């Protein structure tokens, strides 16, 4: 509908009409008009008018008379309806004739009063909106319609007014009531309602807070259908009657509803119902629910009809954990023993296979058990190849001599020579991987007959007895020197408690012989350890020669560009040997006899520095310090021959009792090179029961270990 504007009509004009007599008098008073205005003078007599001229004159006179009559009638009608609308005029079917414009407008407003007061009611559930005409964009042009009604038959000229009035009188006049409707305003009103009512859909949610599962329900969205509602509203407005419109809406379902979230929650709670205990060869690994939760992945998968959730276990995380467990529980295969064989490496004793966690089967077992109440699993092991075989032996980088350690055991007793050889056989062919730490005690193992050792004299717990392995410290000293001259980091080393002269030979390398580079070991106690830092494998070759009295250890591998030197060598703090002997009770010694087991010797301290220069860069010098304690003469006697003061009851230098058995000069004495006592132990009390300085140190909390040195 368009909007029509109107303006007030001009005041009606009544044309002036002249009478016929006035016209003749007018001409007589103006004689010139008979010539100039009505024709020129003629000297000849006029001819009488024809019939046609008479007829025209009569018609004109009649027309003038009619016009004068109509003008007079119209003038009369206008005066009669001044300020009122002519009769027989209607606006939108409402009679407004004989009414003033104000009355007519009031009549029109009365006709649409209900619509104007409440044009529309919009309903949604129990909510109601009642917009005004202005909010809907509706406006009535009452003034325009009344103006058009009032101007009907007025202000269009005499003839037109006469004809229009005649038509109104005869047929009546129906005028439209123009109503404007700005639909965009109605749409804005509905949009405001939509903003108030509309709800965005919300997906259901699920997540983990540690091992706790949390969820949030989905929310169904609401959309107001503005366009369909607007069409219905517009149709009602056009009827100019109060209309009720139902607000049209639709639900918008979320993509992720509560059902898949509930299913995912059930799966998660099953996975997190408790800790998972994994047992590998008796060793337990417990995964807490929090740790399991960190392995869980919740994936959202789009699908027709709504998204779904997929709960999975992050297998790479489990595989990473299993790899760590496998490394911790692996039982490496035993390395083979290898002979240098002039550079053509040869396996002389094959390695043994090891065991490692079967990670693939373990993964399957864990994945199968996680969703179930079974929270304890025994994980299987599998056999693995030895670390070194013929296939990779020549790829270890063992290609040249790296260092040599050498010592001398000339003059040793037969049992000691035998044990030195037994130890060297156990060291020969050892492979040491890059970065690995060598342990003498772990490599040699138990020192007993089963391992090739024999018994020799040693004193344990203050008495002489037969023990296995006397002389093994010759081997530990020799391999220590090989590690020293290779520049390997020495992580544990103990010097002997007292000075043993035969370890001097070959000790100082280019500097010659001297004390300070020996190494004692103690089964279950002090050890010799060093690390292979060459970056390649090391092969240990060990041998001893009873004829020459030489013990030697060679390291083969890839020699680093390093040089090893000894500097700052000095011997100081020399102390004399104790003059007072120490007597030890031994029921095996015949009564009245005396046997000397230890010879007195002085003490000293030796310092030397190892300086390593590698690739032209000199390292910080390393101090190697050895302290030898002074040691007394020690004698053993039968307990019956010792007095309350712990001294012999007879002259032990020259026994006076003819019935006493003299000391056997050929009796086997304790090996002076036997395993020393713990260097950190308290010194021997000369008034107490003596301790053989050559004997294995006594563990105060346990039975003594092998004392052999």
> How many helices and strands in the chain, by DSSP H and E?
16, 37
Say how many Å lie between the first and final Cα of the chain, rounded. Answer: 123
Shared-domain flag, residues 592 and 445: yes
**So what's the pLDDT on residue 305?**
86
Q: What separation in angstroms does the CA of 243 have from each of 123, 131, 234, 661?
A: 11, 11, 10, 143
Binned at pLDDT 50, 70 and 90, residue 709 comes out as low
Q: Quickly list DSSP for 518-551.
A: --B--TTS---EEE--SSS-EEEEEEEETTTTEE
**Better-predicted residue by pLDDT, 256 or 43:** 256
**Better-predicted residue by pLDDT, 358 or 500:** 358
Over residues 2-7, the mean pLDDT reads 34
Query: Is residue 266 included in any domain, yes or no?
Result: yes
481 contacts 505 by C-beta, under 8 angstroms:
no
Q: Taking the C-alpha atoms of 281, 283, 288 and 294 in order, what is their torsion angle to the nearest 10 degrees?
A: -60
Binned at pLDDT 50, 70 and 90, residue 269 comes out as very high
SS3 category, 655: coil
Shared-domain flag, residues 469 and 614: yes
**So what's the pLDDT on residue 11?**
34
**So what's the pLDDT on residue 153?**
85
Q: Taking the C-alpha atoms of 475, 481, 483 and 487 in order, what is their torsion angle to the nearest 10 degrees?
A: 180
Expressed as residue numbers, the domain containing 564 is: 428-641
Return the minimum-mean-pLDDT range out of 60-74, 93-107, 597-611.
60-74
* The domain boundary residue, chosen from 395, 420, 438: 395
447 contacts 469 by C-beta, under 8 angstroms:
yes
Q: Taking the C-alpha atoms of 417, 423, 424 and 429 in order, what is their torsion angle to the nearest 10 degrees?
A: 160
Query: Is residue 213 included in any domain, yes or no?
Result: no
pLDDT tens track for 611-640? 999 999 999 999 999 999 998 998 989 999
Shared-domain flag, residues 342 and 490: no
* The domain boundary residue, chosen from 594, 609, 641: 641
Q: Into how many domains does the chain fold?
A: 2
Shared-domain flag, residues 330 and 467: no
430 contacts 340 by C-beta, under 8 angstroms:
no
180 contacts 138 by C-beta, under 8 angstroms:
yes
Tokens of 186: 């109605």
Query: Is residue 458 included in any domain, yes or no?
Result: yes
Separation of alpha carbons 582 and 463, rounded Å: 12
Tokens of 385: 């190849």
Q: Is the pLDDT of residue 556 over 90?
A: yes
> 372 CB contacts (<8 Å, ≥6 apart)?
270
Over residues 161-172, the mean pLDDT reads 86
Task: Give the H/E segment covering residue 634.
Answer: strand 634-637
Return the minimum-mean-pLDDT range out of 9-13, 70-74, 389-393, 614-618.
9-13
Binned at pLDDT 50, 70 and 90, residue 164 comes out as confident
Query: Is residue 565 included in any domain, yes or no?
Result: yes
Over residues 22-26, the mean pLDDT reads 34
C-alpha angle 343-348-349 in degrees, rounded to nearest 5? 140
Query: Is residue 72 included in any domain, yes or no?
Result: no
Query: Is residue 505 included in any domain, yes or no?
Result: yes
Dihedral sign for Cα 406, 407, 410, 412, please: negative
Shared-domain flag, residues 457 and 547: yes
Q: What separation in angstroms does the CA of 485 have from each of 43, 378, 425, 541?
A: 174, 48, 22, 15
**So what's the pLDDT on residue 523?**
83
- Shortest CA distance to 309 belongs to which of 427, 213, 236? 213
**Better-predicted residue by pLDDT, 162 or 430:** 430
pLDDT tens track for 345-370? 999 999 999 999 999 999 999 999 99
Separation of alpha carbons 652 and 635, rounded Å: 9
219 contacts 204 by C-beta, under 8 angstroms:
no
**So what's the pLDDT on residue 524?**
84
Shared-domain flag, residues 432 and 343: no
CATH of the domain at 342: 3.10.20.800
Q: Residue for token digits 């690739």?
A: 615
Q: Is the pLDDT of residue 77 over 80?
A: no
**Beta-bridge partner residues of 88:** none
Tokens of 174: 């129906």
Shared-domain flag, residues 448 and 334: no
Which of 62-71, 392-401, 676-685 has the largest mean confidence? 392-401
Q: Is the pLDDT of residue 706 over 60?
A: no
**So what's the pLDDT on residue 1?**
40
Query: Is residue 614 included in any domain, yes or no?
Result: yes
Tokens of 669: 């004495």
Shared-domain flag, residues 626 and 527: yes
**So what's the pLDDT on residue 117?**
93
Shared-domain flag, residues 497 and 546: yes
pLDDT tens track for 468-499? 888 899 999 999 999 999 999 999 999 998 89
Shared-domain flag, residues 388 and 449: no
Shared-domain flag, residues 388 and 438: no
Q: Is the pLDDT of residue 12 over 70?
A: no
Q: Is 502 exposed, middle or buried (0-12, 13-18, 19+ CB in 10 A)?
A: middle
Separation of alpha carbons 110 and 114, rounded Å: 8
**So what's the pLDDT on residue 402?**
98
Q: Is the pLDDT of residue 703 over 50?
A: no
Separation of alpha carbons 91 and 104, rounded Å: 9
* The domain boundary residue, chosen from 373, 395, 417: 395
Q: What is the largest CA-CA distance in the chain?
A: 226
Query: Is residue 172 included in any domain, yes or no?
Result: no
Shared-domain flag, residues 494 and 545: yes
pLDDT tens track for 307-333? 999 999 999 999 999 999 999 999 999
**Better-predicted residue by pLDDT, 662 or 299:** 299
């Amino acid at each position: 509908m368009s909007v029509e504007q109107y303006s007030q009509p001009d005041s009606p004009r009544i044309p002036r009409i002249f009478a016929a007599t006035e016209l003749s008098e007018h001409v007589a008073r103006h004689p010139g008009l008979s010539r100039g205005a009505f024709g020129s003078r003629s000297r000849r007599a006029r001819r009488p008018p024809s019939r046609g001229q008479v007829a025209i004159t009569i018609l004109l006179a009649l027309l003038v008379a009619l016009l004068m009559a109509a003008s007079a009638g119209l003038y009369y009608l206008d005066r009669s309806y001044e300020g009122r609308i002519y009769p027989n005029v209607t606006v939108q079917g409402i009679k407004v004739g004989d009414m003033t414009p104000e009355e007519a407008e009031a009549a029109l407003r009365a006709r649409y009063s209900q619509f104007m007061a409440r044009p529309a009611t919009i309903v949604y559930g129990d909510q109601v909106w009642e917009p005004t005409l202005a909010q809907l964009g509706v406006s009535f042009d009452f003034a325009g319609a009344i103006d058009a009604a009032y101007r009907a038959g007025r202000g269009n000229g005499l003839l037109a007014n006469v004809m229009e009035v005649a038509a109104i009188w005869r047929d009546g006049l129906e005028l439209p009531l123009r109503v404007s409707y700005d639909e965009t305003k109605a749409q804005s009103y509905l949009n405001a309602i939509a903003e108030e009512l509309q709800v965005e859909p919300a997906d259901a949610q699920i997540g983990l807070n540690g091992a706790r599962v949390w969820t949030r329900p989905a929310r169904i969205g609401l959309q107001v259908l503005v366009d369909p509602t607007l069409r219905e509203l517009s149709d009602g407005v056009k009827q100019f009657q109060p209309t009720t419109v139902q607000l049209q809406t639709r639900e918008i379902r979320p993509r992720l509803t509560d059902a898949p979230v509930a299913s995912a929650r059930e799966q998660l709670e099953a996975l997190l119902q408790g800790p998972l205990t994994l047992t590998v060869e008796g060793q337990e690994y417990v995964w807490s629910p929090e740790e399991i939760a960190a392995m869980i992945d919740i994936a959202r998968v789009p699908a027709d009809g709504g998204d779904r959730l997929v709960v999975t276990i992050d297998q790479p995380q489990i595989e990473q954990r299993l790899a760590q467990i496998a490394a911790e529980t692996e039982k490496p295969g035993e390395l083979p023993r290898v002979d240098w064989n002039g550079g053509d490496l040869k396996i002389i004793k094959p390695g043994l296979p090891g065991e490692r966690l079967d990670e693939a089967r373990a993964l399957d077992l864990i994945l199968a058990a996680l969703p179930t109440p079974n929270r304890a699993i025994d994980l299987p092991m599998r056999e693995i190849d030895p670390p070194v075989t013929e296939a990779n032996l020549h790829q270890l980088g063992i290609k040249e001599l790296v260092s040599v350690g050498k010592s001398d055991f000339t003059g040793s007793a037969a049992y000691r020579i035998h044990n030195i050889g037994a130890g060297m056989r156990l060291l020969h062919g050892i492979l040491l991987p890059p970065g690995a730490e060598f342990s003498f005690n772990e490599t040699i193992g138990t020192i007993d007959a089963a391992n090739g050792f024999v018994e020799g004299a040693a004193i344990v717990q203050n008495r002489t007895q037969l023990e296995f392995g006397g002389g093994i410290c010759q081997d530990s000293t020799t391999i220590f020197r090989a590690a020293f001259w290779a520049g390997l980091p020495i992580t544990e080393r103990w010097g002997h408690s007292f000075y043993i002269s035969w370890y001097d030979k070959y000790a100082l390398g280019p500097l010659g012989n001297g004390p300070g580079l020996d190494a004692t070991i103690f089964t279950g106690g002090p050890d010799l350890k060093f690390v292979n830092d060459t970056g390649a494998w090391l092969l240990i070759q060990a041998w001893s020669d009873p004829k020459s009295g030489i013990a030697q250890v060679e390291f083969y591998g890839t020699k680093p560009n390093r040089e090893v030197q000894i500097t700052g060598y000095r011997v100081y703090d020399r102390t004399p040997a104790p003059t007072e002997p120490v007597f030890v009770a031994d029921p095996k010694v015949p009564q009245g006899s005396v046997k000397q087991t230890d010879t007195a010797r002085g003490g000293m301290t030796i310092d030397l520095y190892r300086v390593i220069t590698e690739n032209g860069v000199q390292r910080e010098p390393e101090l190697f310090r050895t302290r030898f304690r002074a040691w007394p003469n020690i004698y053993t006697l039968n307990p019956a021959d010792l007095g309350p003061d712990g001294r012999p009851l007879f002259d032990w230098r020259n026994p006076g009792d003819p019935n006493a058995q003299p000391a056997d000069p050929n009796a086997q004495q304790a090996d002076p090179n036997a395993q020393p006592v713990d260097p950190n132990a308290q010194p021997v009390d000369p008034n107490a029961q003596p301790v053989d300085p050559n004997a294995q140190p006594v563990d105060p909390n346990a039975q003594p270990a092998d004392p052999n040195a």
